[in-house]
Amino acid sequence: MKRLLDYSITLVILLILSFYLPRLIPGDPVSAIFGEEAIANMSEDMIADIRNKMGLDRPLWFQFLIFLRNIFRGDLGYSYYYREYVIDIIRQSFPWTLSLIGVSLSISSILGFLLGLNASYRVGSNYDRVSFIAMVAISSLPEFLVGIILLVIFAINLKILPASFSLSPSIFKAFLLPCISLICVDFPNSYITTRNLAVSIVKERFIQTAKAKLKSDRRIKYVHIGRNVLYPVITRFLLRLSHLFFGVIFIEVAFSYPGIGMTLYTSIIHRDYAFVQICVLLMSFIIVTINMITEYLFAGGRT
């Protein structure tokens, strides 16, 4: 319950920040929210209308209430760069992002789980040592670097996969490279987590018992040890899910994948802040909510 309170305070802070940040910039909040280009193209009436709608002549707390009311009504504003409602943009791009994260996170979790168990069984061997260092090295790279390295190798040098989403003939081929790079980003984490958890279980007595009962190595590895690390591995899955919502932005930008990160990037470049404001709020809400659910479900397992 205590943690639940923390997370609710966090959500309130996020709301206040996303409301207050555009108003923090010196100058007109209208131009901060919609971008100067959009303002230059608007007529006086439109600007006056927006001011009236946002309540900019009212006190700050009243503006905040209007902001909250609009969000809870689902009225997230209008993007003047895309010429669409923000909610429609999100509705179009969000499934792309979600499918990318979902597919790659599932694959990397399963792979990391299997290979991590395998490594924990051979702890101390050269194979384990080398792969552990390699995994630490890869996991310390930022997402965009992994994406660019794969882009240079597969799309520029070998020319077997398309570099950019719009240039590709088939969706599947274009989906492959972002997916592989997101797997590469997440796999080391999954591997290291599983391995470290499993190493402590390999030493347990019941593994010796299982060995004495002449169970096969494979059975001991994937059933006896695997079952015991499954719980924290699922926690890791959920935590990484929230973590990747930030990392996926960079992968999408590197491959110009039409997800929410790429849309965010485009609107940052064109200073279309109406979308940025809502997008940041949405992503941080997703992250905090997933973390909250994880903590609620698995608090006993982790501490």
Cβ at position 63, least distance to another protein in Å: 17
Q: Could you tell me the CA-to-CA distances from 111 to 29, 183, 232, 301 in Å, in that order?
A: 48, 9, 16, 22
Residue closer to another protein, measured from CB, 100 or 279: 279
Nearer to another protein, 151 or 210 (CB): 151
**104 vs 272 by CB, closer to another protein:** 272
CB of 246 to another protein, least distance (A): 5
Decide whether 116 or 226 has the Cβ nearer to another protein.
116
Shortest approach of another protein to residue 216 CB, angstroms?
32
Counting every residue written for the chain, the total comes to: 303
CB of 170 to another protein, least distance (A): 21
Shortest distance (Å) from residue 156 CB to another protein: 6
**Angle value at C-alpha 148, between 146 and 153, nearest 5 degrees:** 100
**Positions in the binding site for another protein (CB under 8 A):** 3, 6-7, 9-10, 13-14, 17-18, 21-22, 24-25, 32, 133, 136-137, 139-145, 148-149, 151-152, 156, 163, 242, 246, 249-250, 253-254, 265, 268-269, 273, 276, 280, 283-284, 287-288, 291-292
As a whole number of angstroms, the distance between CA 94 and CA 195 comes to 33
Quick one: tokens of 4? 């639940």
Query: Residue 103 or 280: which CB sits closer to another protein?
Result: 280
